[in-house]
Amino acid sequence: MPELPEVETVRRGIAPTLVGKTLLGARVRQPSLRWPVPADLDARLKGRQVHALERRGKYLLARLDQGTLILHLGMSGSLRLVPPECAPEKHDHVDIIAEGERILRYRYPRRFGAILLSDAPEQHPLIADLGLEPLAAEFDGDWLFALTRGRSGPIKPLLMNASLLVGVGNIYANESLFRAGIHPETPAGRLSRARCARLVVSIRSTLEQAILAG
């Protein structure tokens, strides 16, 4: 499953091509993803300009001059920029067409991903309850220390709780804890402020290195 670093790598890869461009529409070959692709996707994208491409957890948010396109890669989906003459293959379900006829092609064999539109993405049910971004300035040792107070459960599942902290999946939680010298089953409430600060540094560096490697 694509985790935060993989999604951030995709964002950085396609943003230079899409941001500032006007969309010409969309071609939907398979509307039945995890949630139905909006039936009016082509009409609602046509003529809209992409102002920014952001990531929230594992979701990509294409901020348009009217509305926001929400994309999720699910467990094995991909987004690729292809030339217009590139013929779609079996699992290429949606094309988003930008000026210059650059095509953002969404491929997903299992169809567990999502392509949605929202006028208020921060209030969308998929986004509203997401926790803090681990690469945000607010994620520091003091924040983690305060979060862990009074918690008797192990630290690893707390790090993986997306309603508290987004994007730290199983592999990255294990690696971060190992680097910080903290056993995954250590009760969260027993971590000192210094160990929380060390763990934050470890999480940041683990994710950033994964992004650079991507």
**pLDDT for 112:** 76
Assign 3-class secondary structure to 57-100: CCEEEEEECCCEEEEECCCCCEEEEECCCCCCCCCEEEEEEEHH
Task: Output the CA–CA distances (angstroms, integers) from residue 68 to 104, 121, 123, 171, in the order listed.
Answer: 16, 7, 12, 30
Residues 6+ apart with CB under 8 A from 123: none
Confidence of residue 141 (pLDDT cuts 50, 70, 90): very high
Confidence of residue 54 (pLDDT cuts 50, 70, 90): very high
**Quick check: helix, strand or coil at residue 207?**
helix
Task: Output the CA–CA distances (angstroms, integers) from residue 164 to 23, 38, 168, in the order listed.
Answer: 35, 30, 10
Q: Which helix (H) or strand (E) holds 104?
A: strand 102-107
Residue 122, burial from CB neighbour count under 10 angstroms (0-12, 13-18, 19+): exposed
pLDDT in tens, 107-132: 988 767 899 999 999 999 999 999 99
C-alpha to C-alpha distance for 121 and 39, rounded to whole angstroms? 19
C-alpha to C-alpha distance for 71 and 68, rounded to whole angstroms? 10
Residues marked active site are found at 2-3
pLDDT in tens, 64-120: 999 999 999 887 788 999 998 899 998 999 999 999 878 999 998 876 789 999 999
Upper half-sphere CA count for residue 45 (Cβ side, 13 Å):
27
